[in-house]
Amino acid sequence: MERMYSSLIFLLFFLCDISLIEGFGFSVELIHRDSPKSPFYIPSETHFERVAKAIRRSINQANHFNKPSFSTKNIESDVLANRGDYLMSYSIGTPPVKILGIADTGSDIIWLQCEPCDPCSPQTSPIFDPSKSTTYKNISCTSDACQSVRDTSCSSEGSQQSCQYRIGYGDGSKSQGDLSLDTLSFSSTKGSAVSFPKTVIGCGTSNTLGNQGPGSGIVGLGNGPVSLITQLGSSIQGKFAYCLAPSLSRTTSPTKLNFGSEALVSGDGTVSTPLFLDKTFYYLTLEAFSVGNKRVEFGSSSSSSGGSGNIIIDSGTTLTLLPSDVYSELESTVASEITLNRVEAPSPSLSLCYEAPSDGNLDVPVITAHFTGADVKLNALNTFFQVSEDTICFTFVPTNQPVSIYGNLAQQNFLVGYDLQKKTLQFKPTDCTNQ
């Protein structure tokens, strides 16, 4: 999602160490947005206040995907969770300036806040000043890059017409600024940085971020022409993978976002399903859910522009959003298998909630998501989360929007690998805190 809409997600904390491997591969660290290691961590907020904000972002995300204005469009990086979002670190410009952005497979542009901005959204680190970068350059309105991105316009300053981008989100957040070129870099455990000159970025000079909270912007990992993945191109062989550590477990452990030769997902338990590439999003075909011996058919829902696939897989949305009829049947099936005391949902966005067991032992059924060719077993970690001291709720919710989203809570403790050349996606169950 260009992310903003999210679900409970966790922010990236620090610039990922990137290890360059033969065949070209690197990794970036992902950090939970609400981790104490995150620069966006707010000590005064309770854990459950952060959960509530993540819920609101998830619901708004479906609206974001449905908005016509939504668009744009071998390495390793550490990723940190942040309010249901995962942050990744990179550097921009010459000399390089460290930036933290939400890693979002539902977005297809890399944008960050830039000076001078009015308004500016609060962020902990200094806002990037493009005038101090010797490699920064505005993009012309007539350039292919400008023409390839939706929601662009021309801005005349002096004799030069520069390309302006606009992005809007379901929660009212927005960013506008210059579409530009600059050098994007990742740190390397080999001792030298991995740099990508003339990377297309959005340099936001008018930014209003609602429920997203403080941050430096988005790193779009979607399929659009100016996403990070598309711009890295053949250098990563169209491969990337991530492992999302439990976002609501209050973990401080970062995980990895891998690229190129480091993004191989294989071994015991690995399953593969076809991946359908839309102009921005990645679609899968979800055939049904099963709970015990009961099967809930998914049927059709949203689909890619090519008419294939029926659900978007999104690292930038926390909850899983399903068509109302599918959700209703799934909820009743799950509820029939649970003996806990059902309680009123603390939020209108949630429906199925229970009194949290005092011993912490959550006895809920395994839910299997049946994707084409791949059965993915979802445990309590993926399907329920604690929203208050005494309440747990189902992480799947209904939506009336014409889009279904497989959110990041359902992806926790899975190594998820994208192969855009073979058009396949792999799931491998694992403990992401040990990756």
Q: Which residues are catalytic?
A: 104, 314
The residues facing 397 across adjacent strands are 321
**Residue 134: left if φ>0, alpha if ψ -120 to 50, beta else—which one?**
alpha
Residue 62 backbone phi and psi in degrees, to 5: -60, -40
Between strands 160-168 and 174-188, the pairing is antiparallel
Helix then strand count (H, E) for the chain reads 5, 31
Taking CB atoms within 8 Å and a gap of at least 24, the contacts of 263-268 are 263/25, 263/74, 263/236, 263/239, 263/417, 263/418, 264/239, 264/417, 265/241, 265/415, 265/416, 265/417, 265/426, 265/427, 265/428, 266/426, 266/428, 267/428
Residues 6+ apart with CB under 8 A from 344: 353
Q: Determine which helix (DSSP H) or strand (DSSP E) holds 329, and give its type and residue range.
A: helix 324-335
How many Cβ atoms are within 10 Å of 324's Cβ, its own excluded? 11
Residue pair 263/236 in contact (Cβ under 8 Å)? The answer is: yes
Residues 6+ apart with CB under 8 A from 223: 108, 229, 230, 277, 278, 279, 280, 281, 282, 420
Token pair 């999602």 is found at: 1
DSSP labels, 26-60: EEEEEEETTSTTSTT--TTS-HHHHHHHHHHHHHH
Q: How far apart are CA 398 and CA 321, in angstroms?
A: 6
